[in-house]
């Protein structure tokens, strides 16, 4: 019998996966140009669909500043006159992003092959 | 009081609680964190979200302040590389990170070994006949021996430079291990 997945466990598992992917996605987002916190959050959740909690983005950015891949700078914005703190990727962060993306692509290719080979529940029945 | 006033109050109260939770941080760091939060809330409100909903999405103020505080401690430890800050950050993160526990255990072992050598060197000054690195047919150890005629002492005065080397090695190795571990933790979150 096909047992229905527990939505809370599903959400928890997805959160764990996404937590691991958030750093890679964040560094990739910053590769073309610096972004401010809210913009990073909305793009991580919108484009990447990572479900990053609103309250966890600034602690994450703060930690990444300390670890080295990200640097921050306040800029005065002309559109609303309010200053925004922009985050830019550092050379070390760029190297980290490249390594993470390569690792992710290899893992994804291997997993795709495994999933293809083993099939899903319907095929087996 | 109108709904709008309630909403504004909710954001003000939330920010005040965060400020209170960050009281032990340097003023400039605290102001920087609060300015960014203020800007975040203002932009969400301008986009049409009620301030009450914005702060609800950010989570409880005390939890938020604690997360920022921990992130700041971690950042400070990594950037300043002060030994005390790094050990403090490792201890604080040990509850949620097995890696910090392992690193802490390795640091303890390395320092224990270096301190053992140093303490034997100290005994060597007071009691040169019984302290040292000993080898007999059945034993090989560093420390004090009851009857020196039953074993050979291998180090002699070389125990003093060895002590300096062991202490320097323990300091450098544990410092490198602490930096590496904190960087890993900072990236994993």
CA distances from A77 to A4, A80, A82, A84, B33 (A): 50, 6, 6, 7, 18
Nearest CA in chain A to B79: A66
Closest-CA distance, B98 to chain A, in angstroms, reads 16
Q: Where residue A81 falls among pLDDT bands split at 50, 70, 90?
A: confident
Whether A5 is in a domain gets the answer no
Q: Does residue B2 carry a pLDDT above 50? A: no
Q: Which domain holds residue A106?
A: 10-124
Q: Do B59 and A55 touch (CB under 8 A)?
A: yes
Q: Does residue A38 carry a pLDDT above 80? A: yes
ipTM of the complex: 0.78
Q: Say if residues A66 and B186 touch (Cβ distance below 8 Å).
A: yes
Q: Is A45 on the interface with B (CB under 8 A)?
A: no
SS3 B141: strand
SS3 B127: coil
Nearest to A50 by CA among A16, A84, A79, A76: A16
Q: Domain locations in chain B?
A: 1-80, 81-189
Q: Do A56 and B67 touch (CB under 8 A)?
A: yes
How many CA atoms lie within 13 Å of A8's alpha carbon, on the beta-carbon side? 0
> How many CB atoms neighbour CB B98 within 10 A?
8
pLDDT in tens, B24-60: 999 999 999 999 999 999 999 988 999 999 999 999 9
SS3 B72: helix
pLDDT value, residue A68: 85
pLDDT value, residue B98: 86
Whether A93 is in a domain gets the answer yes
pLDDT (average), residues B56-79: 89
pLDDT in tens, A95-110: 999 999 999 999 999 9
Whether A71 is in a domain gets the answer yes
> How many CB atoms neighbour CB B45 within 10 A?
16
Nearest to B84 by CA among B185, B174, B158: B174
Q: Do B189 and A38 touch (CB under 8 A)?
A: no
User: The tokens of B133 are what?
Assistant: 């690195």
Q: Do B36 and A60 touch (CB under 8 A)?
A: no
pLDDT value, residue B4: 52
Whether A2 is in a domain gets the answer no
Q: Where residue B9 falls among pLDDT bands split at 50, 70, 90?
A: confident
Q: Say if residues A31 and A10 touch (Cβ distance below 8 Å).
A: no
Whether A4 is in a domain gets the answer no
Whether A80 is in a domain gets the answer yes
Q: Give chain B's mean pLDDT.
A: 89
Domain count, chain A: 1
pLDDT in tens, B144-177: 999 999 999 999 999 999 999 999 999 999 999 9
Nearest to A63 by CA among A28, A103, A22, A101: A22
pLDDT value, residue B78: 84
Q: Which of residues 62-91 of A touch B (CB under 8 A)?
A: 62-69, 74, 80, 82-85
pLDDT (average), residues B51-70: 92
Q: Is B68 on the interface with A (CB under 8 A)?
A: yes
Nearest to A39 by CA among A76, A88, A78: A88
Q: What distance in Å separates the CA atoms of residue B139 and residue A11, rounded to the nearest whole number?
A: 58
Q: Do B42 and A63 touch (CB under 8 A)?
A: no
| DSSP one-letter string for B8-68 | HHHHHHHHHHHHHHTTTS-HHHHHHHHHHHHHHHHHHHHTT--HHHHHHHH--HHHHHHHH
Q: What is the CATH number of the domain that holds A33?
A: 1.10.10.10
Q: What distance in Å separates the CA atoms of residue B189 and residue A115, rounded to the nearest whole number?
A: 29
Give residue A119's Cα distance to chain centre: 28
SS3 B151: coil
Q: Do A83 and B67 touch (CB under 8 A)?
A: no
pLDDT value, residue A76: 83
pLDDT in tens, B84-114: 989 988 888 887 788 899 999 999 999 999 9
Closest-CA distance, B109 to chain A, in angstroms, reads 26
Q: Is A37 on the interface with B (CB under 8 A)?
A: yes
CA distances from B20 to A47, B23, B30, B131 (A): 35, 5, 10, 56
Whether A3 is in a domain gets the answer no
């Amino acid at each position: 019998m096909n047992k229905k997945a527990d939505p809370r466990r599903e959400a928890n598992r997805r959160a764990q996966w996404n937590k691991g992917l958030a750093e890679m996605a964040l560094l990739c987002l910053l590769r073309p140009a610096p972004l401010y916190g809210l913009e990073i959050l909305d793009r991580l959740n919108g484009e990447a669909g990572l479900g990053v909690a609103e309250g966890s983005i600034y602690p994450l950015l703060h930690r990444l500043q300390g670890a080295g891949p990200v640097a921050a700078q306040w800029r005065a914005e002309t559109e609303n006159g309010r200053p925004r703190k922009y985050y830019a990727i550092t050379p070390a962060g760029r190297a980290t992003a490249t390594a993470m993306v390569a690792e992710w692509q290899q893992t994804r290719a291997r997993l795709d092959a495994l999933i293809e080979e083993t099939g899903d529940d319907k095929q087996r029945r | 009081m109108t709904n709008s006033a309630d909403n504004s109050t909710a954001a003000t109260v939330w920010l005040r609680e965060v400020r209170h939770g960050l009281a032990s941080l340097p003023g400039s760091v605290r102001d920087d964190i609060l300015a960014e939060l203020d800007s975040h809330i203002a932009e969400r409100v301008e986009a049409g979200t009620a301030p009450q909903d914005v702060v609800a999405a950010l989570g409880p103020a005390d939890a938020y302040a604690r997360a920022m505080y921990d992130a700041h401690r971690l950042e400070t430890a990594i950037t300043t590389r002060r030994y005390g800050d790094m050990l403090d950050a490792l201890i604080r993160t040990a509850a949620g990170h097995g890696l910090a526990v392992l690193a802490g255990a390795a640091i303890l072992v390395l320092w224990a070994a270096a301190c053992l050598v140093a303490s034997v060197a100290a005994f060597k000054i007071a009691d040169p006949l019984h302290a040292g690195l000993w080898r007999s047919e059945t034993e090989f150890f560093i420390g004090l021996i009851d009857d020196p005629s039953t074993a050979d002492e291998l180090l002699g005065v070389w125990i003093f430079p060895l002590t300096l080397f062991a202490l320097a090695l323990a300091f450098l190795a544990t410092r490198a291990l602490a930096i590496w571990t904190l960087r890993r933790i900072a990236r994993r979150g």
